[in-house]
Amino acid sequence: MYKIAVLGDRDSIYGFAALGLDIYPVAKGAEAASELHHLAENGYAVIYVTESVADSIAQDIAQYADRPFPAVIPIPGVSGNTGSGMANVKKFVEQAVGSDIIFNGES
């Protein structure tokens, strides 16, 4: 039985608490990174991270890239969106195909 966590600044994520997801309000950087590792070790299969926080801990997130779980998924927050979620998808395409054939240069 796995759980779902949402990581990010409080204003962006408190709504998810109502749905029954576990919310972890964090600031950027080291705090977020240690929280992420903590969650990954403790039975969370999906961790949603707001884009601004995700960008600040990209290296820590990359550690979980080749494992089947946890899936660390960037989501837009209230502020500080960077479009890194879409950029990630674009990166997958580039990694697999060699060039971007899905987005065709948009975004």
Partner 1 sequence: MAATHVNPTRMELTRLKKKLVTALRGHKLLKDKRDELMRQFLILVRENKSLREKVEAGIRSADQNFVLARAAMPDEEVNVALMAPKQEVYLEMDERNVMSVEVPVFHYKTRTPDADDIYSYGFAFTSGDLDAAVKSLADLLPDMLKLAEVEKSCQLMSMEIEKTRRRVNALEHVMIPELQENIRYITMKLDENERSTQIRLMKVKDMMLEEAHHYKKKQNEAFAG
The 3-class secondary structure across 66-88, one letter per residue, is CCCCCEEEEECCCCCCCCHHHHH
Name the token pair of 71: 């899936």
One symbol per residue from 34 to 73: x for binding partner 1 (CB under 8 A), - otherwise; what is it?
-----------xx-x----------------xx-xx-x-x
- Residue from 37, 55, 63, 76 touching partner 1 (CB under 8 A): that is 76
Cβ atoms 70, 39 nearer than 8 A? yes
- Residue from 27, 30, 58, 89 touching partner 1 (CB under 8 A): that is 89
Gap between the Cα atoms of 74 and 72, Å rounded: 7
Q: Where do contacts with partner 1 occur on this chain (CB under 8 A)?
A: 1-4, 12, 14-21, 45-46, 48, 65-66, 68-69, 71, 73, 75-78, 85-86, 88-89, 92-93, 95-98, 102-103
